[in-house]
Amino acid sequence: MSGVELTADEVRHVAALARLGLDDAEVERLGRELTSILAHVNTIAALPIADVPPTKHSRDSADSLRPDVARPGLPREDALRNAPDPSADGFRVPPIGA
């Protein structure tokens, strides 16, 4: 896998998943950079460690659940304070589109 090279189409596909609108220059540059970073990352791809359990969490389990107690939410003006395009009672977004 060390010979991975990202094509421009692959870069655009990943950028689409991540909702990054890249211009052609960025696609070209990221393709190059990602290829070189992935080449390094791929040094672990061949390690024969399929039987090693993955570490999925940062620490051992702990009693981390919250009691079911409701508290009032924010005043609406605080909720909307940072909104780029607030309406009287909500957050406006452009049409969903095609």
Partner 1 sequence: MSGIDVIGLTAERAMGMLRAGECTSEELTQAYLDRIAAVDGDVHAYLHVDAERSLAAARAQDAVAGDALSGVPIAYKDLLSTKDVPTTAGSRILEGFVPIDDADVVARGNEAGLVSLGKTNLDEFAMGSSTEHSAYGPTRNPWDLTRVPGGSSGGSAAVVAAGCAPWSLGTDTGGSIRQPAAFCGLVGLMPTYGTVSRFGVIAFASSLEQVGPMALTVRDAALLHQVIARDTDRDATCTGPREPIVVPDAGRLDGITFGVPRAELEEGVEPGIRARFDESLAIATALGATIVDVELPYSRHGLAAYYVIAPAEASANLSRFDGVRYGLRVDAPDVRSMYEATRDAGFGPEVKRRIMIGTYALSAGYHDAYYVQAQRVRTLIRQDFDTAFQGVDAILLPTAPTTAFPIGARLDDPLAMYANDIFTLPVNLAGIPALSLPNGLSDGLPSSLQIIGPAHSENLLLRLGAAFEAEHAFDVVPPSMRSGA
Partner 2 sequence: MSAPWQRDGYEAVIGLEIHVQLNTASKMFCSCPNNFGDEPNTNVCMVCLAHPGALPVANAEAVRQSVRVGLALGCQIPDVSEFSRKQYFYPDSPKAYQISQYDQPLCGEGIFRVPGADGFTVRLTRAHLEEDAAKMIHAGGEGGRISGSAGSVVDFNRVGTPLLEIVTEPDIRSPEDARRFLTLLRATVIAIGASECDMEKGSLRADANVSIRPIGSTEYGTKTELKNMNSFRFLERGVEAELERQLGLVQAGERIDQETLHFDPTTGTLSSLRSKEQAHDYRYFPEPDLLPVTQDQESLAALAGHLPELPVARFDRLSEAGLVEATALVLATDTGLAAYLDDLALRTGDLKIAANWVMGELQAHLNADALSAVQSPVTPERLAALIALVVDGTINQTAAKEVFAALVADPAATAAGVVQDRNLAQVGGDDALGEIIDAVLAAHPDEVEAFRGGREQVIGFLVGQCMKQSGGRADAKALQGLLRARLSS
Footprint on this chain of partner 2 (rule: CB under 8 A): 13, 16-17, 19, 56-62, 64-74, 76, 79-80, 82, 87, 89-96, 98
- What is the separation of C-alpha 92 from the centre of its chain, rounded to a whole number of angstroms? 23
> For residues 47 and 62, which CB has a smaller minimum distance to partner 2 in the complex?
62
Binder of partner 1 out of 3, 24, 40, 87 (CB under 8 A): 40
Neighbours of 61 (CB within 10 A): 6
Q: Is 42 helix (H, G, I), strand (E, B) or coil?
A: helix
Binder of partner 1 out of 3, 24, 57, 68 (CB under 8 A): 57
* Shortest CB 89 distance to partner 1, Å: 14
Neighbours of 30 (CB within 10 A): 19
Asked whether 4 and 43 are in contact (CB, 8 A), the reply is no
d(CA 78, CA 86): 12
* Shortest CB 28 distance to partner 1, Å: 13
70 lies in the site for partner 1, by CB under 8 A = no
